[in-house]
Structure 1
Amino acid sequence: METHANVYSNEDITVTYEPRLCIHAERCAKELSDVFRTSVIPWVKLDGAESERIINQIKKCPSKALKYCRNTKKQAS
């Protein structure tokens, strides 16, 4: 069975989604629907809100199916 990566990035953060962990509480979509959209693909649109708002919403995920990490900034040499 083919699986597709559920990885979404912007300049600041990378968000991952693990569907096997998700309990479909839909808290993400109800509270930040400009980013977490259940009716379109891709369902995560990181330019729908500021990265800090997205991080705060991910921290509320009851199943921990959504995770994030901060991207490291490349320094000019």
Structure 2
Amino acid sequence: MTEGEGTTEERPRLKEYEGEGITVTFEPRRCLHAAECVHGLPEVFDLSRRPWVLPGAAEPARVAEVVRRCPSGALQYHHRPEDAVPEPRTPPPRSGARPPGSWWCGATSSWPARTGTGTRRG
């Protein structure tokens, strides 16, 4: 064998599986075969089927939840921009307005932050 033969560096193959609202990517060389995906969402991740990942078989939020459990990071996901749902924007409170669920602090004469660490005085 001559120098350089058989030493071609293989790039990790990244496979993409598109579903409605989410795209799952899989990098086979990183997979530890822990089967978190298969046990977590068998209708989406089924090794006996080709393609073995069908992201559209479950709600995108559930698919994302199971993909995040992948211990090796071989599975990743992203939401397609055209399917992204904008989060509702809450208008900022008016100056001096009482924040919902808070109480007046007599010691500081202000509305305390809602951290759950304060005690009610009065």
Interval containing the TM-score (normalised by the shorter chain): 0.7 to 0.9
Q: Structure 2 unaligned runs (5+)? A: 1-9, 84-122
Partner of 1:23: 32
Aligned length: 73
CA shift at 1:4, angstroms?
A: 6.7
Q: How does 1:1-77 map to 2 (within 5 A)?
A: 6-73=15-82
Q: With the length of structure 1 as denominator, give the TM-score of the two structures.
A: 0.84
Note the alpha carbon deviations across 1:47-72, whole angstroms, 9 max, x for none. Answer: 21100000000000000000011110
Instruction: Report if the CA contact (8 A) 2:14-2:27 is conserved.
Output: no
In structure 2, distance between residues paired with 1:6 and 1:41: 13
Query: Higher strand proportion, which one?
Result: 1
More deviation in 38-47 or 50-59?
38-47
Matched-pair contact (CA < 8 Å) for 2:26–2:74: yes
Structure 1 residue 6: Cα displacement: 1.4
C-alpha RMSD of matched pairs (Å): 1.9
Spell out, residue by residue over 1:11-63, the C-alpha distance to the aligned partner (whole angstroms, 9 max, x if none): 31111000000000011001100000011110001121100000000000000
Q: Which amino acid counterpart does residue 43 of structure 1 have in structure 2?
A: W
Of structures 1 and 2, the one scoring higher in RCO (CA 8 A, sep 6+) is: 1
> Which structure has the greater CA radius of gyration?
2
The one-letter amino acid paired with 2:77 is: Y
